[in-house]
Amino acid sequence: MSKIYEALRQAELDSTKRTLEDPIVSQNAGDGVNTMPDAVLPAHPVNLAPTAAPIPAASIPQPIPVATIPAPIAPLHVAPIPVAPVAVAPVDEPFAPDNIQQHVWVPSLHQLPSLEHRGAAVEQFRSLRSRMQEFRDLNTLKSILVSSGLPQEGKSFVAINLAISFARHKANRVLLIDGDMRRASLHKLLGAPQGPGLTEYLAGKATLLQTMQRAKPGDSGHPLPHGLISLVFIPGGLAADKAADLSGNRRFNRLIEDVSPYFDWIVVDSSPVNLVSDGVNLARSCDGVLMIARGGTTKYMVAQRALAELKASKVLGFVLNAVENPPQTGGYYGYDGYDKIED
Ligand SMILES: Nc1ncnc2c1ncn2[C@@H]1O[C@H](COP(=O)(O)OP(=O)(O)OP(=O)(O)O)[C@@H](O)[C@H]1O
Ligand SMILES: [Mg+2]
């Protein structure tokens, strides 16, 4: 029995060995030679069916048919997402001069010779004022932009002293605007706050009244200098970096139109027109432009170029500023003390 067993076992081992060496043998499993089960050497490709049973169709959730939405179909209401406005423009309040805020100004007197009682500068600004009045007799003239080709020629100096000269004459109501928004300086000469000012107004961030200021007597008890009593000031403001965009803003034109009925003169300082276009833009809204050339400094070509830049505006003429030997008139003609009461 054990020999038979041994023989069978040996035959089985031999058979297995042959089958492994020659798979064709396995394909003849039905002929009785190969006794190995099919599962060991599959004759057919392995069935790679997924092990998970397929989900019966009935169990897949059916999509809700669009047609079942009850009619009438309410329009989809998409609630607007509230967006905070970038800049909240205050509603422009009606301009009332009596409501203009007052500040204690600390004027830089040595730069404001037109506040003095007498002297060559007082006389020259009085003379310039008369020329402007003569222009007005012939043309519409209330708003004057003071300009020049280059920096340091005296635009701000002339603008503020001319405005004071206007203001001390018959208590003219005068508005002085610092239109040199890039390098505002008039607030320093007046010792006044820099803003809110023109940039805030043009950007829609301040109303006219919020930008305007006038002088208030200080604690010293001294009365205000005559030339400051009826002077109203709009400083350049605090957003100097936006000057280029703002100067072309239509709000400047509206500003001039809105305030004109309340003032006798409007004087606007500006930046140098040969370098930046701000002054040219503001000039379009003014009745005339007063050009400045500095004695011994301003070159003819610079002045010509400035004139060309302002060709779209009415140029009133040139002021030759800071000449070495200005004509002396005051003392000679006996005007000393003339303007102690009124200029
Ligand atoms: N007639 C003058 N007498 C004395 N000082 C003057 C005179 N004109 C101008 N200045 C002085 O010269 C300097 C330059 O003047 P100002 O600031 O008015 O020039 P500007 O043309 O406005 O210059 P910017 O374009 O840089 O604003 C100032 O210190 C000013 O006080
Ligand atoms: Mg200036």
Q: What are the tokens at 58?
A: 């009935």
Pocket lining for ligand 1, CB < 6 angstroms: 111, 148, 151-157, 180, 183, 185, 272, 321-322
Residues 72-94: what's their mean pLDDT? 53
- HEC profile of the chain: CHHHHHHHHHHHHHHHHHHHHCCHHHHCHHHCCCCCCCCCCCCCCCCCCCCCCCCCHHHCCCCCCHHHCCCCCCCCCCCCCCCCCCCCCCCCCCCCHHHCEEECCCCCHHHCHHHCCCCHHHHHHHHHHHHHHHHHHHCCCCEEEEECCCCCCCHHHHHHHHHHHHHCCCCCCEEEEECCCCCCCHHHHHCCCCCCCHHHHHCCCCCHHHHCEEECCCCCCCCCCHHHHCEEEECCCCCHHHHHHHHCCHHHHHHHHHHHHHCCEEEEECCCCCCCCHHHHHHCCCCEEEEEEECCCCCHHHHHHHHHHCCCCCEEEEEEECCCCCCCCCCCCCCCCHHHCCC
The rounded percent of the chain whose pLDDT value lies above 70 is: 67
Most confident residue range from 94-98, 117-121, 213-217: 213-217
Closest atom of ligand 1 relative to the 271 alpha carbon = 25
Identify which of 110, 114, 125, 152 to mutate to test ligand 1's pocket (most ligand atoms within 8 A of the CB).
152
Q: How far apart are CA 27 and CA 44, in angstroms?
A: 10
Find how far residue 186's CA is from the centre of its chain.
21
Strands 231-234 and 174-178 come out as parallel
Higher pLDDT: 29 or 102? It is 102
pLDDT in tens, 33-63: 333 333 333 333 333 333 334 434 444 344 4
> According to the model, what pLDDT value does residue 16 have?
55
Distance from the CA of 72 to the center of ligand 2, in angstroms? 69
pLDDT in tens, 216-256: 988 887 889 989 999 999 999 998 888 888 999 899 999 99
> According to the model, what pLDDT value does residue 78 have?
53
Q: What are the tokens at 2?
A: 């054990």
Distance from the CA of 153 to the center of ligand 1, in angstroms? 6
Q: How many CB atoms lie within 10 A of CB 61?
A: 5
Read off the pTM.
0.74
The distance in angstroms from the start CA to the end CA of the chain is 151
> According to the model, what pLDDT value does residue 336 have?
38
Closest atom of ligand 1 relative to the 322 alpha carbon = 1
- For residue 165, pLDDT over 60 is answered with yes
Higher pLDDT: 170 or 1? It is 170
Q: How many CB atoms lie within 10 A of CB 251?
A: 17
> According to the model, what pLDDT value does residue 223 have?
86
Q: What are the tokens at 282?
A: 């503001």
Of all ligands present, the nearest one to the C-alpha of 293 is 1
Cα distances (Å, whole numbers) of residue 187 to 192, 214, 245:
5, 11, 22
Contact residues for 315 (Cβ-Cβ < 8 A; gap 6+) = 288, 289, 291, 307
Block residue for tokens 């505006």: 313
How many Cα atoms within 13 Å fall on the side-chain side of residue 253?
7
Q: How far apart are CA 221 and CA 241, in angstroms?
A: 39
- For residue 305, pLDDT over 90 is answered with yes
Closest atom of ligand 1 relative to the 294 alpha carbon = 8
